[in-house]
């Protein structure tokens, strides 16, 4: 057993005993992932953060029922899955889409998919290549706006000034970029946000 595995095992045992420091460790490790998971499906950052907070509260209340370290992740994602689906239904998002789309989302949200993912260096490199190729295939101006927004963290007003275009044009390019990328990368959405959270 390596040092990291040993440390996590000891931390898990402390968590089971109700040690707040151990809970904080797992909170810091998984909060971003659960929030990103929620955003992916309910498109609301504030609500996703609230959902993640609620998941951790329930984790703490049910800590004695968690049998292993992996059980923490399974519990959090399972709870998030349920809450995401409830949010979608309660906000009538379901009515905006065909029933088969909601069913597709539910299948995507299934925790078994998440638990089955095992990353290695080659897989991550291949995923990064696919993402980069998809971005490079965007129309030139759309690609430029997307890179400035997502990778350079610039605001729409800054991008508009630099490119000498209107704010509406920037917004239109971002909408176009996200629509294209979502279509091209639809089979990799789970891998992408987990990759982002792991970095």
Task: Please give the average per-residue pLDDT across 78-99, as a whole number.
Answer: 70
Q: Which residues contact 41 (CB under 8 A, 6 or more apart)?
A: 84, 88, 105, 108, 109
Determine the average pLDDT of the residues in 21-41.
Answer: 88
pLDDT at res. 96 = 54
What CATH class has 119-198? mainly alpha
CATH fold of 1-117 reads: Rna Polymerase Sigma Factor; Chain: A (1.10.1740)
**pTM above the 0.75 mark?**
no
**Where along the chain do its domains lie?**
1-117, 119-198
| Mean local confidence (pLDDT), 91-101 | 55
Report pLDDT for 116: 44
Tens digit of each residue's pLDDT (9 = 90 or more) over 120-162: 444 456 667 777 888 888 999 999 998 888 888 888 899 999 9
pLDDT band at 109 (very low <50, low <70, confident <90, very high): low
Residue 57 has pLDDT above 60, yes or no: yes
DSSP state of 164: T
CA distances from 37 to 30, 32, 196, 197 (A): 11, 8, 11, 10
Separation between Cα atoms, residue 76 and residue 56, nearest integer Å = 7
**What is the residue whose two structure tokens read 């998809």?**
134
């Amino acid at each position: 057993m390596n040092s990291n595995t040993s440390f996590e095992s000891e931390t898990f045992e402390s968590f089971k005993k109700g040690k707040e420091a151990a809970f904080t460790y797992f909170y810091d490790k998984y909060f971003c992932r659960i929030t990103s998971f929620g955003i992916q499906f309910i498109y609301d950052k504030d609500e996703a953060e609230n959902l993640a907070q609620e998941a951790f509260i329930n984790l703490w209340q049910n800590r004695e029922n968690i049998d292993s370290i992996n059980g923490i992740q399974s519990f959090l994602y399972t709870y998030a899955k349920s809450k995401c689906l409830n949010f979608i239904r309660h906000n009538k998002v379901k009515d905006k889409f065909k029933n088969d789309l909601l069913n597709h989302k539910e299948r995507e949200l299934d925790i078994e998919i998440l638990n089955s993912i095992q990353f290695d260096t080659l897989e991550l490199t291949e995923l990064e290549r696919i993402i980069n190729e998809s971005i490079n295939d965007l129309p030139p101006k759309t690609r430029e706006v997307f890179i400035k927004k997502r990778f350079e963290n610039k605001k729409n007003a800054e991008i508009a000034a630099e490119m000498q275009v209107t704010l509406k044009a920037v917004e239109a390019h971002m909408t176009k970029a996200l629509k294209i990328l979502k279509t091209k990368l639809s089979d990799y959405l789970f891998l992408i946000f987990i990759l982002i959270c792991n970095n």
